[in-house]
Amino acid sequence: AQSVAQPEDQVNVAEGNPLTVKCTYSVSGNPYLFWYVQYPNRGLQFLLKYITGDNLVKGSYGFEAEFNKSQTSFHLKKPSALVSDSALYFCAVRDVSDKVIFGPGTSLSVIP
Amino acid sequence: GAVVSQHPSRVICKSGTSVKIECRSLDFQATTMFWYRQFPKKSLMLMATSNEGSKATYEQGVEKDKFLINHASLTLSTLTVTSAHPEDSSFYICSARDLMVLRSGAQHFGDGTRLSIL
C-alpha cells in the first residue's frame, strides 16, 4: 500500500538558517510526489512536485526538494528560512488509483 | 493559475441542521473533485472522490448517507452534511485537478470550510 511518512511533527529553525522538512514514501511504480503548505484556517497551497527528470526540484517561495530513489525520500529544503515560512507542511504521493495520500504533516516554526 | 473556490468559509449551526458546502473550479474544468476532512493539527483524510455525472466513491468508514456528494457539472461539486451533529464539526477541504492537465498535475485546493455544530 502507498504511504507517506514525515518523521518530525515539529521543526524549529532560526530565521536566515537553512531548513529541511523530511519526507519518505512507499509506492509501487514511479512516484508522483508533492509538497503543499497550509497556513492557519486555510486550504493547501501547492509548492512543488516531482514527476520525472532532475532529482532536484525547484518550487514556489524559494523552496526546493530533492528526490532520492534509493532512500525513497523527498525532503523539502530552503537555503534561508523566513518567519513567514512558519506553517504546516504536507508531503503527498499520488497512487495508482489517482488518489493523493498525504503525510501527517510537519509544523515549521521559524524563530526571529 | 488554477483557482478553486469553496463556500462558505465558516458555518456555525445547531445540531440536526443539514449543511451544504460548494466547491467550484473557477478557471478550469474538473471531472474529478476530492473532499477531505481535517482534524486540528492533523493530516487530511480523504472522504470521497466526486465524479462528474456519476456517483461519488466513498472511502472506507465514511457514511455516504451522511455526507451527500453531488457533482452536477465540470466546475461544481457539493458536499451536504445531513443532520449534522457536534462530532461532524471539522475543517472540510475540497480539491480539483484540471481535466486538461496530465495525471502528473497537482491538485488545486479550496480554502476550506470550518464547520461548527452546536
What does the pLDDT look like over A30-89, one tens digit per residue? Answer: 888 999 999 987 888 989 999 888 899 999 999 999 999 999 999 999 999 999 999 999
- Decide if pLDDT at B91 tops 70: yes
Q: Which residues contact B1 (CB under 8 A, 6 or more apart)?
A: B108
pLDDT recorded at residue A31: 85
For residue A91, the chain B residue with the least C-alpha distance is: B43
Residue showing cell 532532475: A54
Helix, strand or coil, per DSSP, at residue A84: helix
pLDDT recorded at residue B14: 95
Instruction: Look at B103 and A41; give whichever has higher pLDDT.
Output: A41
The string over A28-39, giving b where at least 16 C-beta atoms fall within 10 Å of a residue's C-beta and e elsewhere, is: eeebbbbbbbbe
- Decide if pLDDT at B53 tops 90: no
Cα dihedral A66, A15, B43, B97 in deg (nearest 10): -60
A90/B44 touch (CB, cutoff 8 Å), yes or no: yes
- For A41, the closest of B44, B106, B114 (CB atoms) is B114
A46/B110 touch (CB, cutoff 8 Å), yes or no: no
pLDDT recorded at residue B31: 83
Strand partners, A38: A44, A88
Average pLDDT over residues A18-40: 92
pLDDT recorded at residue A43: 82
Angle at alpha carbon of residue B10, lines to A35 and A110, rounded to 5°: 40
For residue A50, the chain B residue with the least C-alpha distance is: B104
Q: B104 near A34, Cβ under 8 Å?
A: no
| Band of residue B7 on the pLDDT scale cut at 50, 70, 90 | very high
- Decide if pLDDT at B78 tops 80: yes
A103/B104 touch (CB, cutoff 8 Å), yes or no: no
